[in-house]
Structure 1
Amino acid sequence: MALLDLTRRGPVFAVPWRDGRDPDTDAECFVSHTVFAYDRWRDLPQIGLAARRAAQLFSRHEGSVVLAQWFLPGRRLMGDLSVWRSETHLRDFLVDPAHVELVARWRGLMHGVHHSWTAPVDRDAIWARAVPLMRSDGRPAAG
């Protein structure tokens, strides 16, 4: 687990990149970054296990390229940064029954903010673009 320092925000613990089913691509891909805020410290162990299950689902899903997960425990934030061959592949993953069940269990205990963009698969560049987004608080803006 790597440790990064986000000035004034505390350390970020990052799980190393995990390859998906299609890690070798030079094509432009769809990048999805979600920042989650969890409400209670006591939920963290179970949320961590759920994140691990989600990573396992990711790795088996068609169109998955690469995944990174990170935790900012001092602010009760965590997130995932997933790269897909296309937005359609991400959408297929989101409606996968196993993913739907995982999300349903944590709805109400966590809140997320989603960002997405397209980019070539350059892990360093994708991570650099995601770091400023980690500074959000994980809660949707009031609208």
Structure 2
Amino acid sequence: MTTRPAPTRPVTSRLLRARWRSGPVSLALCPVVVSVTDFTATSHPQAGAIALAGLRLRRSWPRTPGALGMWLWAEVAGRRSGSVSVWRDEAALKEFVGRPDHIAVVRAHRGRGTMRAAAWEAEDFEPGAVWDRARDLLTGTTPWPQGLVRLEDA
């Protein structure tokens, strides 16, 4: 009697998303800038460390100038995590990226993974549409407009 191997199922990624965290800018139908980040850690412990750093930064979100809000997301099996953040304008996003606490996180994890990021402008902030577009990037349904950024270059 010959036994056949069990059929294999394709591995599908599962993105976990935290609840929306509001910033100090009130939600309104207005043009916004959306930023998506995707960090892939070299190890599971490193993935946990960067996710915790993201949670710490999230605590300050209600006081982050120019922020409408954000979602954190993670794909545990793939050692990936990141954010989808919504901003009043590009200047507010750049101010956050240059904040000392954000720079400290980037430097602390330099050389321990890769990161990619994309940003776009939206005429009106529609949470469902923003998340759908971000999810398409994160799941590979839509190609990223930029390549990988090595943290040692950030």
TM bin (shorter chain) = 0.7 to 0.9
1:77 matched to 2:80? The reply is yes
**Secondary structure at the residue paired with 1:16?**
coil
Structure 1 or 2: more strand by fraction: 1
Aligned to 2:28: 25
Corresponding residue to 2:128 among 105, 119, 124 = 124
**Secondary structure at the residue paired with 1:23?**
coil
Aligned to 1:3: none
Aligned residues: 135
Structure 1: stretches of 5+ with no match in the other structure: 1-6
TM-score by length of 1: 0.85
Alpha-carbon distance between aligned partners in 2 of 1:43 and 1:76, rounded to the nearest angstrom:
8
Taking only the aligned residue pairs, the percentage that are identical comes to 26
**C-alpha deviation, 1:90, in angstroms:** 0.4
1:11 matched to 2:14? The reply is yes
Alignment-mate amino acid for residue 111 of structure 1: T
Alpha-carbon distance between aligned partners in 2 of 1:98 and 1:124, rounded to the nearest angstrom:
29
Give the alignment's Cα RMSD to 1 decimal. Answer: 2.1
Structure of higher CA gyration radius: 2
Tell me whether 63-72 or 35-44 shows the greater mean CA deviation.
Answer: 35-44
TM-score by length of 2: 0.79
Corresponding residue to 2:55 among 49, 52, 56 = 52
